[in-house]
Amino acid sequence: MIVRPTPRALIALIVLCSAGCGSEDADALVVVGLTTDMAVGFEIDRVERTTQVDGVITRVESLSYGRGELSLPAELAVEPAHDGAEVEVSVAAFRDGEGSPVVTRTAATRAVSGRAMFLPVSLDAACSAISCAAGATCAAGACVDPFVEPSTLADHDPAWIASANDACKTPSSGDPAVVIGQGERAFAPLEHGDVVTIEPGPQGGHHVWLALRVTGLRQMGSRLTVGGRYPDLAFELPSFTSLVTLRRAGDAGCEIYGVRFQVDRGLPVDSVRGRTLDAEIVLEDPNGDVATAAQRIVIAP
């Protein structure tokens, strides 16, 4: 199970600032919002970006998921720039341990006095096999001009991030839903009343490996709560909570496996063997959308 802390302080990714920052006429803002339809932590692990203002490099940065620095979608309100400043952002995404980027993207516009413009930048899986000519960039699988006229850009609204597409939550993914399965290294179906084998944990106790299939929730930063109840014993197992990162599972949506659920917390292990256990899952994403599921299993004798 991939479990990563994703504090909101770490989602800031791109700062655009001209050499005139802080001057009296620096009242033009460009806010960059970075999104991807690839699974962060699996399909991409690192993002490198370069910002230029009026042809001068103002910032170069590398952010890694493995170091807890990369969480998408992301934005950061920017410092003022001067009117008419040309702002360009180049982003490259890498898999863990690879030196060549999976995908690159460039976007540019001009700052406009008195406006806070929102410049969307997406890292699209459809661009991973496309090489564009000099002066062009790939977006949604096609080579396009990286320059976007300011008149076509919307004003920045912080609410954009709640509806931004990602690897697991899209307009077509439907309402939030979760299905409980089993598996340490892959998802396997779990039917009502199935007998499951438990195994000893490295720090005591005994557990079963759960796995989840998920739709309609964000790929990163969802809060997973796992609990359960033994109806025959009238005993409620203490629940545990963690932040999780989902992986894509093709047409099945997204998933996570290797969820270690201790089934004898507060009980002798012999007292739960052969008992019915009602497992309960709650998964809430950073937008506040929630999916719940319950599954009855039987602990192997």
**Do 123 and 105 touch, CB atoms closer than 8 A?**
yes
Which residue segment(s) compose the domain that 139 sits in? 8-163
Residues 206 and 104 in one domain: no
Residues 150 and 222 in one domain: no
Residues 216 and 107 in one domain: no
In a domain, 72, yes or no: yes
Residues 54 and 155 in one domain: yes
Residues 187 and 291 in one domain: yes
Q: What is the pLDDT of residue 17?
A: 39
Cα separation of 49 and 1, whole Å?
A: 29
**Do 124 and 166 touch, CB atoms closer than 8 A?**
no
Residues of the chain with pLDDT under 50: 1-24
CATH assignment of the domain containing 277: 2.60.40.2550
Q: What is the pLDDT of residue 185?
A: 95
Take residue 139 and report the two structure tokens written for it.
């977006």
In a domain, 192, yes or no: yes
Q: What is the DSSP string of 175-199?
A: S-EEEEEE-SSS-B---TTEEE--E
Model-wide pTM > 0.85: no
Q: What is the pLDDT of residue 174?
A: 87
User: At which of 119, 137, 163 does a domain end?
Assistant: 163
Q: What is the pLDDT of residue 4?
A: 43
Domain count, the chain: 2
In a domain, 26, yes or no: yes
